């Protein structure tokens, strides 16, 4: 699968009918903390608080142009993908059924309902929710929207095109990995622009399937993905995404749960932004690689800000009075 510059431009024409480009900001305190020239791409400032809206808009608009013979669409999610599909479906006059695992982020669940989605809870994790969604798609004549698809990658890739065109000379960009559309969009935009920027994927240590797969050079599934970073809670990698990552990523960094919580706190103290767990993971990875990245121009993808209250309070309560720089 290859996403071209034209694909990204065409997706942009769809995306920008609903939202403006998001900001990229160099925060002095964050740069001081990391010992690098740090630029943040603020995908927490989209209409659904996450980068996924871009892929949903592109996918559903292109689907609607094909006049699908189905009663509506269905997908599985931990939240941000579901919000994007619910919003985009409402704009194209289609219905959206969203399947989430039990115990999912309650604020994300309410947001999906508010956007017009029909919410179903099933399974203990994303993979079990996905299998239930597939079964329902057949039983109810619903089109199954996958978590990884060329239209999704081209849509979310518009954030990467914005970022790389706006900030010259980025040595490295850190991107969180869930099912892979975000990092594959970044790789696609980097390659389409002919840049040398290195792209580093970030996963949670407790959901390390993509890191294990990258190290082995082939798909490696895990038995669980028990991490606070719901947006990265993947235990079965997507083969198409993995192929792109193996060819285009520099490395994959794993971060611990407490490192993610610390990074959420750093975002709040240094930029006054609330990052969700997956959104904070790239900062956690940069802090972990502080010595390696010293003095370099670095990009961080703050992929979303949809933290539930309990997690936000947990992160904020962990902030030290005199945080280590």
Quick check: is 303 catalytic? yes
Rounded to a whole number of angstroms, the CA Rg of the chain reads 18
Mean pLDDT of 164-179: 97
For position 65, what pLDDT does the model report? 87
What pLDDT digit, counting tens, does each position of 185-206 carry?
Answer: 999 999 999 999 999 999 999 9
Domain annotation for the chain: domains and CATH numbers: 5-50+150-317 (3.40.50.1100), 52-144 (3.40.50.1100)
SS3 state at 75: strand
pLDDT band at residue 294, thresholds of 50, 70 and 90?
A: very high
- CA separation, residue 126 to residues 94, 232, 233, 234 (Å): 24, 10, 7, 7
Quick check: is 137 catalytic? no
Closest by CA to 185, choosing from 28, 322, 51, is 51
Catalytic residue, from 52, 108, 130, 297: name it.
52
Given a cut of 90, whether residue 321 has pLDDT beyond it is: no
For position 96, what pLDDT does the model report? 93
pLDDT band at residue 26, thresholds of 50, 70 and 90?
A: very high
pLDDT band at residue 78, thresholds of 50, 70 and 90?
A: confident
Catalytic residue, from 84, 137, 303, 307: name it.
303
Among residues of the chain, what percentage have pLDDT more than 70? 98
Q: What is the value of pTM for the model shown? A: 0.93
């Amino acid at each position: 699968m290859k996403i071209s510059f034209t694909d990204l431009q065409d997706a942009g024409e769809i995306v920008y009918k609903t939202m403006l480009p998001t900001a990229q900001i160099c925060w002095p305190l964050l740069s001081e903390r990391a010992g690098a020239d740090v630029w943040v791409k603020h995908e927490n400032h989209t209409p659904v608080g996450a980068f996924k809206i871009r892929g949903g808009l592109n996918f559903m608009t292109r689907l609607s142009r094909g006049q699908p013979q189905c009663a509506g669409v269905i997908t599985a999610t931990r939240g941000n993908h579901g919000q994007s599909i619910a919003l985009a479906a409402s704009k194209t006059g289609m219905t959206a059924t969203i399947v989430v695992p039990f115990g999912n982020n309650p604020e994300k669940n309410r947001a999906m309902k508010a956007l017009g989605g029909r919410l179903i809870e099933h399974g203990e994790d994303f993979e079990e929710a996905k299998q239930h969604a597939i079964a329902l798609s057949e039983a109810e004549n619903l089109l199954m929207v996958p978590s990884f698809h060329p239209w999704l990658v081209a849509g979310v890739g518009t954030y990467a095109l914005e970022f790389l065109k706006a900030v010259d000379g980025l040595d490295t960009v850190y991107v969180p990995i869930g099912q892979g559309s975000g990092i594959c969009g970044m790789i696609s935009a980097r390659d389409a622009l002919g840049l040398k920027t290195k792209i580093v994927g970030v996963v949670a240590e407790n959901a390390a399937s993509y890191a294990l797969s990258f190290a082995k050079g082939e798909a490696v599934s895990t038995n669980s993905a028990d991490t606070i970073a719901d947006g990265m809670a993947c235990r079965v990698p997507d083969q198409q995404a993995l192929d792109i990552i193996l060819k285009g990523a520099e490395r994959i960094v794993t971060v611990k749960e407490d490192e993610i919580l610390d990074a959420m706190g750093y975002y709040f103290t240094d930029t006054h932004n609330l990052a969700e767990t997956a959104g904070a993971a790239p900062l956690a990875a940069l802090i972990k690689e502080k010595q390696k990245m010293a003095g370099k121009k670095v990009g961080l993808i703050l992929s979303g800000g949809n933290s539930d209250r309990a997690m936000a309070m947990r992160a904020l309560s962990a902030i030290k009075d005199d945080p280590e720089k």
